[in-house]
Amino acid sequence: MEIAPSILTADFTRLGAEVEAAFEAGIRWLHLDVMDGRFVPNISFGPLVVQALRPLADRYGAILDAHLMIVEPERYVEAFVAAGCDRITVHVEASPHLHRTIQQIKALGAHAGAAINPGTPTAALEAILPELDLALVMTVNPGFGAQAFLPGCLAKVRWLRRELDARGLREVAIQVDGGVNATTIGACRDAGANVAVVGSAIYTRGQDVASAVARLRAALEPGEPAVSAWS
């Protein structure tokens, strides 16, 4: 399972060092949560941060994966690709012309993803699945880091895994985002996800990044319990 740290809870006064610490720990997929204060109740950062991180990602051969939690994402897709994003995910709820936006991302040379919030049914993704490189299931209500995992969202992951397998679309990644830590990551994998976005379980003040990544990997080892009492 790919572990994709989210920089949302990182120390932005030393962001380069925080990201490099993850890369030194073997991470090769960085998740960039972009928020506009309208689609979600928070504001984060824009293309300039992506541009600043691109040379560091290139040094380690890492992916920059932008999750656009913004209204009218089609207006900003080009800027984020130009800044250096390899993958861009937009929300079903924010994209009235989702197919067009997905095609726009691909035409610009990036991989395209679509995300659903906890209150959005998986049926909202059904028609667009053949066009996607990634399907993202939010396992918290988006907007802030360090929220508690919503276990009911695992049913959506299981539906996606069954649907993608049935259609022969196994190359489409299933990503989970929100509340993922050493206790919950195994359940996400067992439900069928293969990319886990991890924020505060990696980036918390006073916590060593390499040790945090090692704990997550240990939780994915065979024989480890998948989850707490939710099973």
H or E element in which residue 134 lies: strand 134-138
With respect to residue 142, please indicate whether it lies within any of the assigned structural domains. Answer: yes
Q: Give, in order, the Cα–Cα distances in Å from 39 to each of 47, 49, 69, 197.
A: 18, 20, 6, 20
The tokens for 187 are 């359940």
Of 33, 36, 65, 133, the active-site residue reads 33
With respect to residue 230, please indicate whether it lies within any of the assigned structural domains. Answer: no
With respect to residue 99, please indicate whether it lies within any of the assigned structural domains. Answer: yes
Please confirm, yes or no, whether 33 is among the known catalytic residues.
yes
With respect to residue 225, please indicate whether it lies within any of the assigned structural domains. Answer: no
Question: Can you give the pLDDT of all 231 residues of the chain as single tens digits?
Answer: 999 999 999 999 999 999 999 999 999 999 999 999 999 999 999 999 999 999 999 999 999 999 999 999 999 999 999 999 999 999 999 999 999 999 999 999 999 999 999 999 999 999 999 999 999 999 999 877 667 899 999 999 999 999 999 999 999 999 999 999 999 999 999 999 999 999 999 999 889 999 999 999 999 997 554 443 222
With respect to residue 78, please indicate whether it lies within any of the assigned structural domains. Answer: yes
The structural domain count of the chain equals 1
With respect to residue 227, please indicate whether it lies within any of the assigned structural domains. Answer: no
Please confirm, yes or no, whether 177 is among the known catalytic residues.
yes
Q: Which domain holds residue 143?
A: 2-219
Judge residue 1's burial from the number of C-beta atoms within 10 Å of its C-beta, 0-12 exposed, 13-18 middle, 19 or more buried: middle
Of 58, 165, 177, 208, the active-site residue reads 177
Closest CA to 22 of 48, 66, 74, 57: 57
* CATH (domain of 210): 3.20.20.70
Closest CA to 171 of 112, 88, 97, 115: 112
With respect to residue 226, please indicate whether it lies within any of the assigned structural domains. Answer: no
